[in-house]
């Protein structure tokens, strides 16, 4: 089982819809969870991080964490074409540890 798994997509949603991205992880010792957005040919940029069970909202983005089920998700409300990118889920085991990345989910928002 891979450490961090994501559906590679592509996930296609119409403009204005909610995009839902999911991620599962295998190590129950993971403590911090991150969502990065990566445009083609660019380096990842941090969207959100979460470390407590429940929801965390930041603007149009909501991260959800369920440690018992070992999944973390990202919801993007009012999706825009500019949101079209690959979304990477990453986890680490502690504040000083390295990040383990999933393969990413490619999101396409159609105008």
Footprint of other proteins on this chain (CB under 8 A)? 32, 34, 36, 41-46, 49, 51, 88, 95-96, 98-104
Distance CA 49, CA 64 (A): 10
Contact 48, 59 (CB under 8 A): no
Instruction: Compute CA 56 distance to the chain's CA centroid, rounded to the nearest angstrom.
Output: 12
User: By C-beta, is 43 or 111 nearer to other proteins?
Assistant: 43
CB of 1 to other proteins, least distance (A): 15
User: By C-beta, is 16 or 54 nearer to other proteins?
Assistant: 54
User: By C-beta, is 60 or 103 nearer to other proteins?
Assistant: 103
CB of 55 to other proteins, least distance (A): 17
User: By C-beta, is 71 or 101 nearer to other proteins?
Assistant: 101
Distance CA 47, CA 107 (A): 14
| Alpha carbon distances (Å) from 44 to 31, 36, 87 | 20, 6, 9
CB of 56 to other proteins, least distance (A): 12
CB of 49 to other proteins, least distance (A): 5
DSSP state of 17: S
């Amino acid at each position: 089982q891979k450490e961090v798994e994501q559906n590679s997509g592509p996930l296609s949603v119409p403009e204005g819809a909610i995009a839902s991205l999911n991620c599962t992880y295998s190590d129950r010792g993971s403590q911090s969870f991150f969502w990065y957005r990566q445009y083609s040919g660019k380096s990842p940029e941090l969207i959100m991080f979460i470390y407590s069970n429940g929801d965390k909202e930041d603007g149009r983005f909501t991260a959800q964490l369920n440690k018992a089920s070992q999944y973390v998700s990202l919801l993007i409300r009012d999706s825009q074409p500019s949101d079209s990118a690959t979304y990477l889920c990453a986890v680490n085991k502690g504040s000083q540890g390295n990040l383990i990345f999933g393969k990413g989910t490619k999101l396409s928002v159609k105008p």
